[in-house]
Structures are given as C-alpha cells and as structure tokens.
Homo-oligomer: A and B are copies of this chain.
Amino acid sequence: MKQMGKKGLLLVFTGNGKGKTTAALGMAFRALGHGQRVAVIQFIKGSWKYGELESAKCFPGRLDFHVMGRGFTWNSDNMDKDIALARQAWTFARTTIAEGKHDLVILDELTYLISYAMIDEDEILAGLAARPESMHVVVTGRGAGKGLIAAADLVTEMREIKHPYHDGVKAQKGIEY
C-alpha cells in the first residue's frame, strides 16, 4: 500500500531490555495484515525463531525473511572474515532498501554492525536515508548511537527493569523463541 508524497519513517528500538525484536515482529504482522510486503533481515544469531517463521507461512509471498548472521559470533579471532561477512550482509540490506519492493523493512540487530565498527555509521545512515518514500524501516539492537537516533523519526529505548534470567528461569517456548 503506497503512501505517495510521504516520507517513510525510520523507527529504532534500542536499549538492553526485552521487546525490541518482539515489537518489530508485531509491526511485521500489523503490516502483513494490511496486505503490505515485509522484509526481515536478521544480522545476528537467531532472534527470529520457529514461532514467528511458522506464523509467517500464513502470508505466502509477502514476507521475505533473510538470515545474514549465520556463523557470526562477533567473537571471532578472524576479524577480516567477520568484516567481510558484515559487509556482505549490509550490502544485501542496502540493496533491499534501494529496490523498494517492500512497504516495511526490518533490520534486526543492525546496531551491532556500527557498535563493533564493522561498517562505518555514515555509510549505514546513507543507506537508510535512501529508503523510498513508501517504505518504513525498523532498526533494532542495543546501543543505538547518536547518529542513528538523530536520523530516526521514532526511537524507543526498551529498558530492562526486571528479567527472569536473573532468577535462573530458562527460556520458554512462545516467550523467547
């Protein structure tokens, strides 16, 4: 659903609390319910998991899901390889944005590419700024920096007030994955 003449929003969910990726997931299903097309690009580990991927099957052809971070650990002793993988992932994201095929693009855990100095922040901001007028982009991840916050239209910090892991509770189906 195009929104002509209106700049798409850049939304950032950051902070150390739970709910960043979950809120992005909620936005994806909201958009899908409107008949929109959604791309999810996951930069790190498996923060989108079985539950949401099963749900996504309800929307054939409208949710494109890409895991770029398989193999990333960000603790690698081969920094050159990590940077090459990060660049490959970012290039894919930038191309997806520029192509303009989606109404909503979710860049899950993108902030880490900046925090870990894998990709220059200016390059990422330029790629985000190049989004088509009809496209909203959501960036999630801890530690969003000043540049990203300045560029964003909406920023929510998810602050951890209390987390069950601190009490030794294990991850539970439907809650964490």
Report if A59 contacts B (CB, 8 A).
yes
- Are B22 and A50 within 8 A (Cβ)? no
Per-residue interface assignment for chain A, residues 61 to 103, with 1 indicating a CB less than 8 Å from any chain B CB and 0 otherwise: 0000000000000000000000000000000000000000001
Q: A9-B172, A15-B159, A30-B177 are in contact. List 9 more A-B contacts (CB 8 A).
A: A3-B173, A17-B157, A26-B28, A30-B49, A30-B55, A55-B59, A136-B174, A154-B163, A155-B161
Question: Could you list which residues of chain A lie within 8 angstroms of chain B, going by C-beta atoms?
Answer: 1, 3, 6, 9, 11-15, 17-36, 49-56, 58-59, 103-104, 136, 149, 152-164, 167, 169, 172-175, 177
B-chain residues with CB within 8 Å of residue A174 when the two chains form the complex: 1, 27, 30-31, 34, 36, 103-104, 136
- Are B34 and A54 within 8 A (Cβ)? yes
B-chain residues with CB within 8 Å of residue A31 when the two chains form the complex: 51, 174
Minimum CB–CB distance for A160 against chain B, Å: 6
Nearest CB to that of A3 among chain B residues?
A: B172
Ordered nearest first, which 9 A-B pairs have the shortest CB separation?
A58-B58, A25-B26, A26-B26, A33-B51, A33-B55, A33-B54, A30-B51, A17-B156, A22-B26
Nearest CB to that of A162 among chain B residues?
A: B155
